[in-house]
Copies of this chain bind each other. A is one copy, B any other.
């Protein structure tokens, strides 16, 4: 994991915000008010997801997801937290380690220079974390990710691979 300084974190966050702001400015200049409103609504929703993630009391795990797209990876992620409330203390260290291992396995499976996108839904319930992964892009090595998942079976509560092909990977994994 990267050791982010305050200056670096803010540089990346500012860069992301500025890109969105430029898009809004451009559309405003063209008087596309409805599109401007939609873009701003998206920004609010993204910020809300960031807040939910930050409220999980899993600082390491949150940091991994919040900073992932700022590092060089062969795929980009987006995430959604289905439920931010949970009454039990989760093991930040364990979940962080697991997600990093999963990302590494994905990195070894996908085409490095493709348009790769991983969407992650996270649901906390009944003392579990349920991940719903939806990958679109190019998987160059289906065997690698399949083998890795098989090896993981011993450590995880459940793995349900719903689709796996050269361009798609959908799985539900309970940690």
Contacts and interface: CB of A to CB of B under 8 A. Distances in A.
A112 interface: no
**Copies of this protein, total:** 2
A17 to B, nearest CB: 6
A40 B40 CA distance: 12
Grouping DSSP codes into helix (H, G, I), strand (E, B) and loop, the A interface class, with mixed when no group exceeds half, is helix
Interface of A: 4-7, 9-11, 13-14, 17-18, 21, 24-25, 28, 33, 36-37, 40, 43-44, 47, 50-51, 54, 59, 62-63, 66-67
A115 B30 CA distance: 40
Contacts of A47: 14, 17-18
A80 to B, nearest CB: 17
Given A37-B28, A40-B25, A54 B10 contact: yes
21 contacts: A4-B6, A5-B59, A5-B63, A6-B59, A6-B66, A6-B67, A7-B54, A7-B66, A10-B50, A10-B66, A11-B54, A13-B14, A14-B47, A17-B17, A17-B47, A18-B44, A21-B40, A24-B40, A25-B37, A28-B33, A28-B36
A66 B44 CA distance: 23
Across the A-B interface, the 6 shortest Cβ-Cβ residue pairs: A6-B63, A9-B9, A7-B54, A7-B59, A7-B62, A13-B13
A60 to B, nearest CB: 9
A4 B7 CA distance: 11
A10 B25 CA distance: 23
Nearest to A58: B7
Q: Considering residues A10, A44, A54, A63, which has the most beta carbons from chain B within 10 angstroms of its beta carbon?
A: A10
